[in-house]
């Protein structure tokens, strides 16, 4: 499946940044994630970013004074990142590598203060342990992890049953994954609960914070919603902000942000 994923994101690299430029929802979600990150990062932290894409977050973090080693399986995405590094004069702040997050053992000898994965990149792997098994060899003691993952339960999507859209409403609940279609390339995606993530990490990681994003407000594919229903969109975001840290809505959402501290035993 990795070949299909790579091909899909190579194709998407040409238009990836434009999606966010034209999406009020994506902009708001990314701003929420970045605010979360900044609260947990220490000055000068050395960050490993998984599935870094075109480097939107890597550039943001580097401009804030952090050091980022970005990995991705798409050479198309990394070419876009390289261009941004040059145009922003960030060669000393960002390095990158063509690498899958299931092959983190190839980073042997490197250690980081922080590991970060954004916007459901880890939903492309069926077993999270294929990725998390490597973290303990890469993180410094008391190092941190922030992973942004799509869970099996999303209230906004479940509400689609009232519109008769049963397939879309229940698509996340399939145990063997759901077919994704990116730029005409199809591959399986898997929805991971916070409990499954905690189990994949094990006892050496302490959950520090969990926060839901887009709980009742619409997910990114409903890109026209903010313009069509601006007041409703504003009110839904207000509700989301009120309950985003409250169980179960800190894990029932379009995405959840989970931050852990590494405590080696």
CATH number for the domain including 24?
Answer: 3.40.50.150
- What is the secondary structure of 19-83 as a DSSP string? HHHT-HHHHHHHHHHHHHHHHHPPTT-EEEEES-TTSHHHHHHHHTT-EEEEEES-HHHHHHHHH
Per-residue DSSP letter, 219? P
More confident residue, 41 or 183: 41
Is the pLDDT at 2 greater than 80? The verdict is: no
Is the pLDDT at 83 greater than 80? The verdict is: yes
Residue-wise pLDDT for 122-146, tens only, equals: 999 999 999 999 999 999 999 999 9
Is the pLDDT at 153 greater than 90? The verdict is: yes
**Candidate from 105-114, 119-128, 180-189, 215-224 with smallest mean pLDDT:** 180-189
In the chain, how many domains are there?
Answer: 1
Average pLDDT over residues 116-123: 97
Distances from the Cα of 169 to the Cα of 137, 156, 159, 242, angstroms:
39, 9, 7, 24
**Confidence category of residue 7, pLDDT binned at 50, 70, 90:** confident
Is the pLDDT at 3 greater than 80? The verdict is: no
pLDDT of residue 20: 86
Element (H, E) at 87: helix 75-88
Decide: 9 and 73 in contact? Cβ < 8 Å: yes
End-to-end Cα separation, the chain, in angstroms: 35
Structure tokens at 104: 């983190």
Average pLDDT over residues 29-45: 97
Residue-wise pLDDT for 85-100, tens only, equals: 999 999 999 999 999 9
**Exposed, middle or buried by CB within 10 Å (0-12, 13-18, 19+), for 32?**
buried
Q: Which domain holds residue 18?
A: 2-262
Between CA 204 and CA 190 the distance in angstroms is 24
Average pLDDT over residues 37-60: 97
Decide: 145 and 262 in contact? Cβ < 8 Å: yes
Pair type for strands 112-117 and 139-149? parallel
Which residues neighbour 222 within 8 Å (Cβ) at sequence distance 6 or greater? 25
Residues in the chain: 265
Average pLDDT over residues 56-61: 98
**How many CB atoms are closer than 10 A to CB 29?**
23
Which residues neighbour 122 within 8 Å (Cβ) at sequence distance 6 or greater? 50, 51, 101, 128, 131, 147, 149, 192
Largest CA-CA distance found in the chain, in angstroms, rounded: 53
Q: What percent of the chain has pLDDT over 70?
A: 99
Per-residue DSSP letter, 160? G
**Confidence category of residue 1, pLDDT binned at 50, 70, 90:** low
Strand partners, 94: 68
Is the pLDDT at 248 greater than 70? The verdict is: yes
């Amino acid at each position: 499946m990795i070949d299909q994923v790579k091909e899909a994101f190579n194709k998407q690299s040409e238009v990836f940044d434009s999606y966010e430029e034209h999406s009020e929802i994506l902009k708001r979600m990314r701003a929420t994630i970045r605010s979360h990150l900044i609260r947990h990062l220490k000055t000068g932290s050395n960050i490993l970013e998984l599935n870094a894409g075109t480097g939107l977050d890597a550039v943001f973090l580097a401009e804030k004074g952090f050091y980022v080693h970005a990995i991705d399986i798409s050479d198309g995405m990394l070419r876009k990142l390289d261009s941004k590094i040059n145009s922003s004069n960030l060669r000393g702040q960002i390095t990158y590598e063509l690498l899958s997050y299931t092959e983190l053992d190839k980073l042997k000898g490197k250690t980081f203060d922080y590991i970060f994965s954004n916007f459901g990149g880890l939903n492309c792997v069926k077993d999270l342990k294929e990725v998390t098994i490597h973290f303990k060899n890469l993180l410094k003691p008391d190092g941190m992890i922030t992973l942004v993952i799509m869970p099996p339960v999303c209230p906004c999507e479940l509400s689609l049953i009232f519109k008769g859209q049963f397939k879309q409403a229940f698509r996340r609940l399939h145990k063997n994954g759901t077919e994704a279609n990116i730029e005409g390339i199809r591959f399986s995606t898997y929805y991971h609960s916070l409990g499954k993530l905690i189990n994949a990490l094990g006892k050496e990681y302490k959950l520090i914070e969990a926060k839901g994003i887009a709980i009742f407000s619409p997910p990114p594919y409903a890109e026209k919603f903010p313009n069509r229903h601006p007041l409703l969109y504003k009110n839904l975001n207000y509700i989301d902000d009120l309950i985003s840290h409250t169980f179960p809505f800190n894990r029932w959402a379009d995405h959840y942000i989970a931050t852990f501290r590494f405590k080696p035993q």
